[in-house]
Structure 1
Amino acid sequence: MSDDDIILKAENISKQYRLGLVGTGTIAHDLNRMWHRVRGKEDPYLQIGAINDRSATASSDYVWALRDINFEVKRGEILGIIGKNGAGKSTLLKILSRVTSPTTGFIKTKGRIASLLEVGTGMHPELTGRENIFLNGAILGMTKDEITSKIDEIVEFSGCQMYIDTPVKRYSSGMRVRLGFAVAAFLEPDILVVDEVLAVGDAEFQKKAIGKMQDISNTGGRTVLFVSHDMAAINRLCPRCILLKNGSIVAHDITSNVLDQYLADNTEGFKVQVQPENLVDKDLKLISVSLNLENGTLVKGIHDVYTDFYINFRIKCEKVIRKPLISFHFKNSRDEFVIFSDINDNNSNVLPEKPGYYNYSIKIEQPLLKPDRYYLYVGIVNNDTGQTNHFPSLLNFELQDSKNVRSKRAGYIYKKFKWNS
């Protein structure tokens, strides 16, 4: 690509943090750095530092959250960034958004950057939704007339019309994400940076947000950097993708190739321990989910379509809840619903209404599915509070046809039905 096409370029980006302390280090370390700088030598602490592996025991006082990151993004491109929790995705986006500075390396950008990195990013809690729209527009360098011309579209897209003149501190987390995304998307930044915040929104808003990102890229010629654990959304939205592991880029290619590598390497991913900070409702928790064969063996990435498998959930209920709802669905590689089920499909199941742990197992019998990549979504609704914990693309796996029969038949589901006349 020519230099005119490139709107963002990262060169040798690294970020080092000190473990266990707030700040960069001690006075002794600062004096040591100064002494080396006066003599024209390299910072001595850049020569040490552990690899960013959250599961390992710390071997140094320093850790490289990112190490030697290099990539380019052209105008109008949607670039996906994926990786396990703690791989360095959010740190990279904060550096690209100028929230923090890199330890080494530099970023070159052309135009304005709007970021949606956490729930409520850029929102002042004491200001109303309308006032926050004008505040964010001013930060992006827009005039009052420009913001006024777009405010009706922003409010309509967010779906927060009733609360637009209410202080943002009264908003739910989902409402803050809705308004924050609408502001970032409609105020026409040249580069839109979106972290995993869309998972907080409901299914209807996620669909609108993904459609809007496609629209601003295709028709507006704007660039989107999209971080998500929703592999179906990544596959649908991003032609090109970056895979981060332990703070380094291990794959940078077309999305299908990167997803194949992520899937092959993601042996941990087929028994997922859900992080508490990802939960909206704390009273009804998804502890873990796994895919297993009948003998208990984990399904790890690639599976034959002729073998049954099981979805296993472990739920923790903290207090008495009336009629909680647990559901799951599969999407295929085209982001289409293929299977849906909730706990009410089988009345013999015990609802998690009393405090304690609950284990559920659902058998997926074959022949049912066709060869494809599938993504497992889970939703848990607390009907007492109305809050929903939504887990997009918790697991993804690929089904292959060893006999090469099912792929020749049209449709999403492979099932032969009995016809009576």
Structure 2
Amino acid sequence: MTTAISVKNIGKQYKIGAAETKFRYNMLRDVIVDTVSAPIRLAKAMIGRSDRRLNQNYVWALKDVSFDLEEGKVLGIVGRNGAGKSTLLKILSRVTEPTTGTVSVRGRVGSLLEVGTGFHPELTGRENIYMNGAILGMRRSEIDSKFDEIVDFSEVTQYIDTPVKRYSSGMYLRLAFAVAAHLEPEILVVDEVLAVGDAEFQKKCLGKMGDVAQQGRTVLFVSHNMSAILRLTQEAIVLNKGQLIMRGPTQEAVDYYLSSGQSQAGERTWEADEVPAASAPFAPISLKIKERGGKIVDTVRSTEPVTVEFEYKLSSPVTGLRVGLYVGTMRGEYVFTSFDTDSPALYEKFDTRSAGRYISRAEIPADMFNESRYTVGVNASSFGVRRYFMDENALAFNVDISGAPGTQWAEPRVGPVRPRLAWKIEKIG
């Protein structure tokens, strides 16, 4: 079978802080100082003392990654935030070049890396469809044949002749996905962008991606939704800190990813280098699972309440902040989601949080969980404005069902929850 993508020992290095000075206009004094200090920097470099030589201002987003993907295969890519998933897709899409290694891609590549990738804001939706098709190397007749289908799928018919700079993020996403999925590139690259859409549109997109996969096209799919990864892909690779640490059948890869890197003691702490700079002013400190007596535990009893504590700090005030918990199964299925300002009273009281250290603490009632191992993810965001931090797989805990309802019966019970319901038995005859 023909190889569609061949990746050989690629690495990508970024300079930390380069973006801050990229567009700065230098004053005359800056030019003079830079000119005078240039010989000193050169001398340091020659004796091995420069910052560049020490790599103090550089970070490897990817390092020594290699794999081949055959035509018609669907490959999932999973990993924690900062693992290098998006950087890998950008290299495969030729958005950026690797620092080391080589990439060989056979066929046209359609990419959906973020909302509106490849769109020109001043052009209308109609013009962007034709421009994207031209970039993919398609003839106008090919684009014409798909145009109505693209517009119908995107549900932006009324605004198709409006400049896309006036679109909402949801409209942008609908049209961007429709273009990427319908213009039939040989290789489709999709990053975690479906989270922007509503639940109905996410379902629609996943259905379309399933159709694309069945048509024999090559697909690379990044997602934090393990159910979607399991449903759409046959194989998956696991990235961790820029390195490929596992490749295998999707079920095995997902199990490996969900079980790796989790705290085994009921506590997760974050080091400074694990927190993206873009999270500022929010910085996570620790996440803890506590039993009723306040002890940090890895295993809790289903018949007793359990407390989840998330400690964090703010370096400056934040308005509209909400901190959330995502509790799920080891298969990536969500059990429930809850935010610390779900209560109207807390929502009003903490509308603006000043700089300082905080603990958001939630008590999960007794008789909630069935016997299993569960994951806890955390999120900090301002609703509809910005996501500060997300760790979808922060830690895990076990549930012991001793004394739980129905344990007098030996057979296991299906489902992630095991509630104690108020039953009544009444004889009526």
User: Shorter-normalised TM-score: what interval?
Assistant: 0.7 to 0.9
1:126 aligns with 2:122: yes
Secondary structure of the structure 1 residue equivalent to 2:193: helix
Work out the CA distance in 1 between the residues paired with 2:341 and 2:97: 50
Equivalence for 2:146: 150
Secondary structure of the structure 2 residue equivalent to 1:73: strand
Residue 184 of structure 1: which of 174, 180, 199 is its match? 180
What percent identity do the matched residue pairs reach?
A: 42
Range 368-377 or range 173-182, more displaced:
368-377
Secondary structure of the structure 1 residue equivalent to 2:161: coil
Work out the CA distance in 1 between the residues paired with 2:377 and 2:58: 37
- Displacement after TM superposition at 1:225 (Å): 1.0
- Displacement after TM superposition at 1:352 (Å): 4.7
- Is the 1:232–1:331 Cα contact (8 Å) retained in structure 2? no
- Displacement after TM superposition at 1:408 (Å): 1.2
Secondary structure of the structure 2 residue equivalent to 1:206: helix
Range 167-176 or range 372-381, more displaced:
372-381
Indicate how the Cα distance of structure 1 residues 170 and 68 shifts in structure 2: closer, same or farther if over 3 A, else same.
same
Secondary structure of the structure 1 residue equivalent to 2:162: coil
Equivalence for 2:5: 8
- Is the 1:191–1:224 Cα contact (8 Å) retained in structure 2? yes
Equivalence for 1:227: 222
Larger Rg: 2
Work out the CA distance in 2 between the residues paired with 1:204 and 1:138: 30
Equivalence for 1:54: none
Report the TM-score, using the length of structure 2 for normalisation: 0.71
Q: Which amino acid aligns with 1:413?
A: V
Superposition pairs of residues 246-261 of structure 1, within 5 angstroms: 246-261=241-256
- Displacement after TM superposition at 1:328 (Å): 6.1
Consecutive unaligned residues in structure 2, runs of 5 or more: 23-37, 43-47
- Is the 2:373–2:399 Cα contact (8 Å) retained in structure 1? no
Range 365-374 or range 191-200, more displaced:
365-374
- Is the 1:79–1:240 Cα contact (8 Å) retained in structure 2? yes
Superposition pairs of residues 188-267 of structure 1, within 5 angstroms: 188-217=184-213, 219-262=214-257, 263-267=259-263
Deviations 1:1-48 (A, max 9, x none): xx43x322212222344555579xxx99xx9xxxxxxxxxxxxx9xx9
Equivalence for 1:41: none
- Is the 1:49–1:63 Cα contact (8 Å) retained in structure 2? no
Deviations 1:96-132 (A, max 9, x none): 1122222333222222111112222100010011110
Secondary structure of the structure 2 residue equivalent to 1:242: strand
Indicate how the Cα distance of structure 1 residues 83 and 191 shifts in structure 2: closer, same or farther if over 3 A, else same.
same
Range 224-233 or range 303-312, more displaced:
303-312
Range 178-187 or range 239-248, more displaced:
239-248
Q: Which amino acid aligns with 2:238?
A: L
Equivalence for 1:417: 421
Q: Which amino acid aligns with 1:8?
A: I
Q: Which amino acid aligns with 1:96?
A: L
1:163 aligns with 2:159: yes
1:109 aligns with 2:105: yes
Equivalence for 2:362: 362
CA-based RMSD: 4.3
Consecutive unaligned residues in structure 1, runs of 5 or more: 32-44, 51-57
- Displacement after TM superposition at 1:71 (Å): 0.9
1:94 aligns with 2:90: yes
Range 117-126 or range 206-215, more displaced:
206-215
- Displacement after TM superposition at 1:256 (Å): 3.4
Work out the CA distance in 2 between the residues paired with 1:258 and 1:306: 33
Report the TM-score, using the length of structure 1 for normalisation: 0.72
Aligned residues: 380
Deviations 1:42-61 (A, max 9, x none): xxx9xx999xxxxxxx7556
Secondary structure of the structure 2 residue equivalent to 1:414: coil
Secondary structure of the structure 1 residue equivalent to 2:256: helix
Q: Which amino acid aligns with 1:364?
A: I
Work out the CA distance in 2 between the residues paired with 1:381 and 1:82: 25
